[in-house]
Amino acid sequence: MNDSDSDGDRQSYCDRCGEPAGIGDHEACRGARLMEPPRYCGRCRRRMVVQVTPAGWSARCSEHGTLSSA
C-alpha cells in the first residue's frame, strides 16, 4: 500500500487531521478513516493530492510517494 524508502514506515502525524499522532485523542480520526482517504502525509504532515474514484482512492505526497486503497 505504501511506496517504500529508506526512512521506513513510521507515522509521526495523523493522516486525517495532520496533528502529531502521539498527542491528543485521534479516535474520531480513526473512525473517519474507515470511510475516507488520508488527507495528510503521516510522515511529513504535507497535504496530499487525493483522488477518489468508484474503484477506490489514491493519495500522493510529493516527498513520500503514493498510498492507495488497492
Q: Are 56 and 70 in contact (CB under 8 A)?
A: yes
Length of the chain: 70
C-alpha distance across the termini of the chain, in Å: 7
pLDDT of residue 38: 97
Average confidence (pLDDT) over 14-39 = 95
Report H helices in 1-70: 27-33
Q: Side by side, which strands form the sheet with 65-68? A: 49-53, 56-61, 65-68
Average confidence (pLDDT) over 59-68 = 97
| pLDDT surpassing 60 at residue 8 | no
Per the structure block, which three cell numbers stand in for 1?
A: 500500500
pTM of the model: 0.80
